[in-house]
Chains A and B, each alone.
Chain A
Amino acid sequence: ILNVEQSPQSLHVQEGDSTNFTCSFPSSNFYALHWYRWETAKSPEALFVMTLNGDEKKKGRISATLNTKEGYSYLYIKGSQPEDSATYLCAPHDDKIIFGKGTRLHILP
Chain B
Amino acid sequence: NAGVTQTPKFRILKIGQSMTLQCTQDMNHNYMYWYRQDPGMGLKLIYYSVGAGITDKGEVPNGYNVSRSTTEDFPLRLELAAPSQTSVYFCASRIRLAGGNTQYFGPGTRLTVL
A-B complex is real: yes
Interface residues on A, range: 20 to 34
Select from chain B the residue with minimum beta-carbon distance to A98.
Answer: B45
Task: Determine if B42 and A89 form an interchain contact, defined as CB atoms under 8 angstroms apart.
Answer: yes
Q: Could you say which of B58, B90, B104, B106 contacts A46, with CB atoms under 8 Å apart?
A: B104
Task: Determine if B50 and A51 form an interchain contact, defined as CB atoms under 8 angstroms apart.
Answer: no
Task: Determine if B90 and A100 form an interchain contact, defined as CB atoms under 8 angstroms apart.
Answer: no
Q: Could you say which of A31, A33, A44, A49 contacts B105, with CB atoms under 8 Å apart?
A: A44
How many inter-chain contacts with C-beta < 8 Å in the A-B complex?
60
CA distance A98 to B99 in the complex (A): 17
Instruction: Say whether, besides A43-B90, A43-B107, A98 and B59 are in contact (CB < 8 Å).
Output: yes
CA distance A33 to B59 in the complex (A): 18
Select from chain A the residue with minimum beta-carbon distance to B94.
Answer: A97
CA distance A89 to B45 in the complex (A): 14
Select from chain A the residue with minimum beta-carbon distance to B108.
Answer: A43
Residues in A neighbouring B50, C-beta threshold 8 A:
95
23 A-B pairs, CB-CB below 8 angstroms?
A32-B99, A32-B100, A33-B100, A34-B102, A43-B107, A44-B43, A44-B90, A44-B105, A45-B105, A46-B102, A46-B103, A49-B99, A49-B100, A51-B99, A87-B42, A89-B42, A89-B43, A95-B31, A95-B50, A95-B96, A98-B59, A99-B43, A100-B42
